[in-house]
């Protein structure tokens, strides 16, 4: 009964919001008052967070905490757009799967079919290995000059790797999480589609799903509606730390989105409105074992832990997580615009409040 009651409250609040007035996201009474206690550090005049819990495709908890912009005290709402950081990788993987469905590429294509300027060390690397972090590509952040100040882009990642005729291990023989691999996948999307990565995502994923404010952000090219800026706590004070030299790389972490838009993404993962059943199976099938905590297997843009599918995202000034339990049709999303803490433990605690009654 509590789920129905809170859903009615959300619908009523949305009807009021749609009457022409501007208001913050409704603060629903959680099914357990402990949720607000868990999020207490995000509340008030501090960098905040947006929290969404979906059950059976319906929002059963939806609330913004704290501020999206400290300087003008803009509150976080369910429509606030955060930099997703590595939560972006699932969209990059989906773009590759869509192109495979189109027949524009195959997952076992050699990477150098699309990016032939890479050195001989990349000869054996396939797109599948990039998706599953088994390519052995060097970490581009380790190849950048220590005093670099100009932002790098996906194309710059390619140029850095062109000068490195080596890999960490023989491609396909081990797992190592690779931001480099997903930056190159964004370039492959552009090559195979005849478009560019940001445009492909908008035309083939965001707009078809109604994610109208989501964007692979390019400074000077697009705008970000209701943007959250990132902050870090330094000597007890919050300082804006919204961008770093790697923040313009799109394929590994450059997407901005809101919990409301991510609800539309979550819904598309339960049916074939975007990806075919075979592609969804590939996206969520164990591709490679890992030694990472809570990650027995990595798939394509997702971490797998038993019945949970999840991914976190960490970038300067942002910490995010999406946690899904498909068998229970339960999803918890936490997006925050601060450098700490990592919200995955929070999402687990929030999820348990529903899992205890659903299992």
pLDDT at 61 over 60: yes
Return the pLDDT at 146. 87
Structure tokens at 287: 């591709």
Return the pLDDT at 2. 37
Model confidence pLDDT, tens digit, residues 126-175:
999 999 999 999 999 999 988 888 999 999 999 999 999 999 999 999 99
Q: Which of 19, 21, 86, 180 is catalytic?
A: 86
Whole-prediction pTM value? 0.91
Percent of the chain with pLDDT over 90: 86
Return the pLDDT at 15. 34
Model confidence pLDDT, tens digit, residues 63-100:
999 999 999 999 999 999 999 999 999 999 999 999 99
According to DSSP H, which parts of the chain are helical? 2-17, 34-38, 89-102, 111-114, 127-131, 140-143, 154-162, 179-193, 197-201, 259-268, 277-283, 344-358
Helix (H, G, I), strand (E, B) or coil at 227: strand
Return the pLDDT at 333. 98
86 included as an active-site residue: yes
Structure tokens at 15: 């009807």
**Residue-range domains of the chain with CATH:** 31-90+197-358 (3.40.710.10)
């Amino acid at each position: 009964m509590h789920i129905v009651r809170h859903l009615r409250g959300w619908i009523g609040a949305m009807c009021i919001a749609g009457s022409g007035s501007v208001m913050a996201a409704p603060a629903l009474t959680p099914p357990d008052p402990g949720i607000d206690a868990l999020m207490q550090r995000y509340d008030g005049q501090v960098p905040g967070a947006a929290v969404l819990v979906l059950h059976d495709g319906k929002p059963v908890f939806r609330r913004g905490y704290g501020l999206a912009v400290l300087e003008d005290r803009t509150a976080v709402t369910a429509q606030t757009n955060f930099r997703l950081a590595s939560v972006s990788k699932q969209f990059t993987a989906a773009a590759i799967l869509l192109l495979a469905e189109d027949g524009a590429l195959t997952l076992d294509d050699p990477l150098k079919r699309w990016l032939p300027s890479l050195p001989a060390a990349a000869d054996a690397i396939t797109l599948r290995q990039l998706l599953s972090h088994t390519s052995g590509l060097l970490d581009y952040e380790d190849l950048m000059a220590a005093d670099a100040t100009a932002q790098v882009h996906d194309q710059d990642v390619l140029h850095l790797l062109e000068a490195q005729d080596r890999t960490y291990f023989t491609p396909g023989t081990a797992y190592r999480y690779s931001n480099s691999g997903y930056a190159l996948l964004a370039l492959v999307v552009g090559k195979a589609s005849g478009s560019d990565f940001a445009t492909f995502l908008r035309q083939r994923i965001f707009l078809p799903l109604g994610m109208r404010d989501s964007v692979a952000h390019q400074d000077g090219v697009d705008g970000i509606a209701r943007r959250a800026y990132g902050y870090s706590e330094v000597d007890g004070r919050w300082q804006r730390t919204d961008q770093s030299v790697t923040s313009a790389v799109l394929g590994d972490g450059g997407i901005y989105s809101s919990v409301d838009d991510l609800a539309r993404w979550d819904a598309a993962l339960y049916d074939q409105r975007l990806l075919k059943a075979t592609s969804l199976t590939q996206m969520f099938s164990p591709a490679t074992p890992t030694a990472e905590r809570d990650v027995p297997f990595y798939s394509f843009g997702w971490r797998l832990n038993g019945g949970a599918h999840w991914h976190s995202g960490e970038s300067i000034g942002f910490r995010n997580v999406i946690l899904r339990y498909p068998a229970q049709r339960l999803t918890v999303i936490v997006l925050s615009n601060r450098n700490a803490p990592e919200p995955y433990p929070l999402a687990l605690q929030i999820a348990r409040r529903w899992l205890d009654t659903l299992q």
